[in-house]
Structure 1
Amino acid sequence: MNNTNAHNHAAFLLRLSLGVILLAHGLMKIMIFTIPGTVGYFESIGYPAIIAHLTIWGEVLGGAAMIIGFHTRIVALLSLPMLLGAAWTHMANGWVFSNQGGGWEFPVLLVMLAVIVTIQGGGSFSVKGLPQVNKRLPKALRA
């Protein structure tokens, strides 16, 4: 395996990992906590309901797009405010995620994964982006 293939496969594994985690967390908010329950929780910690909805659908749709490799850089970039918000929310709980209420180590790890995917792209095995959308994007953000 040459360096290009290794880089592409590593980028794929990072993209897939981040996508699966985002999708799993979004589905958990829908299927286990329920949408009204998630909205209620977000409101109880001071966030407006719209942030809960944006988070749920950002995780579900963004995670699915990340898994298949659709506009990976854009999806990773757009996930950053959501992931930074999660890190901020968990900040008072300490570093370790196993702390009561969850610490901020895991959200910060996800932030770093999203930054890396934004920089290096989706790697191999991705559907890339729609050509008509791709040609209008700055080169650095193309799939």
Structure 2
Amino acid sequence: MLENADLGKLIVRLTLGGLILFHGISKLFHGVGFVESQLASHGLPTILAYGVYVGEVLAPLMVLLGYHTRIGALLIAINMIVAIALVHTGQLLSLSQTGGWALELQGFFLFIALSVIFLGPGRYKLHS
């Protein structure tokens, strides 16, 4: 049986970091207006919207590279908790039209980030 926990950790890191990074790149090109509007609707300062660049650009790069991986994963987890709190609380117990959890994507990012926090980067990483 082929077993390589470090390769598995790399695959998880590349998946989490790569998929979240697409969201960050979109915000780099299109701005954070939606996040600002969500913050304003909750009575929060809109300047906080720029934190999404930390959670969706910087943190995914940290996870992808294996550089301070646990900190990067923590930042992603915090980003997802904020996103769920601002936008998705009404869907926490809902199913999608296809029968899955309405928050599958957000749940995936949150729980995989938590897994990376506990697992660490594995052997295939930048040294930090």
What TM-score do the two structures reach when normalised by structure 2? 0.79
Describe how 1:8-87 pairs up with structure 2 within 5 A. Answer: 8-32=6-30, 34-35=31-32, 37-46=33-42, 47-87=44-84
Taking a change above 3 Å as real, the CA distance of residues 104 and 51 of structure 1, as seen in their structure-2 partners, is: farther
Which ranges of structure 2 fall in alignment gaps of 5 or more residues?
none
Question: Structure 1 residue 125: deviation in Å?
Answer: 2.6
Percent identity (aligned): 27
Which ranges of structure 1 fall in alignment gaps of 5 or more residues?
130-143
State whether residues 54 and 75 of structure 2, in contact with CA within 8 Å, keep that contact through their aligned partners in structure 1. no
The counterpart of 1:91, out of the listed 86, 89, 92, is 89
State whether residues 97 and 106 of structure 1, in contact with CA within 8 Å, keep that contact through their aligned partners in structure 2. no
What TM-score do the two structures reach when normalised by structure 1? 0.72
State whether residues 95 and 105 of structure 1, in contact with CA within 8 Å, keep that contact through their aligned partners in structure 2. no
Runs of 4+ in 1 over 6 A off after TM superposition: none
Relative contact order (C-alpha < 8 Å, sep 6+): which is higher?
A: 2
Q: Over aligned residues, Cα RMSD in angstroms?
A: 2.6
State whether residues 23 and 60 of structure 1, in contact with CA within 8 Å, keep that contact through their aligned partners in structure 2. yes
Letter of the 1:81 counterpart: I
1:87-122 per-position Cα deviation (integer Å, ceiling 9, x unaligned): 233131334398xxxx32211111110111011111
Question: Structure 1 residue 2: deviation in Å?
Answer: 5.1
Taking a change above 3 Å as real, the CA distance of residues 124 and 26 of structure 1, as seen in their structure-2 partners, is: same
- Determine the C-alpha separation between the residues in 2 that align with 1:11 and 1:104: 24
Question: Structure 1 residue 54: deviation in Å?
Answer: 0.7
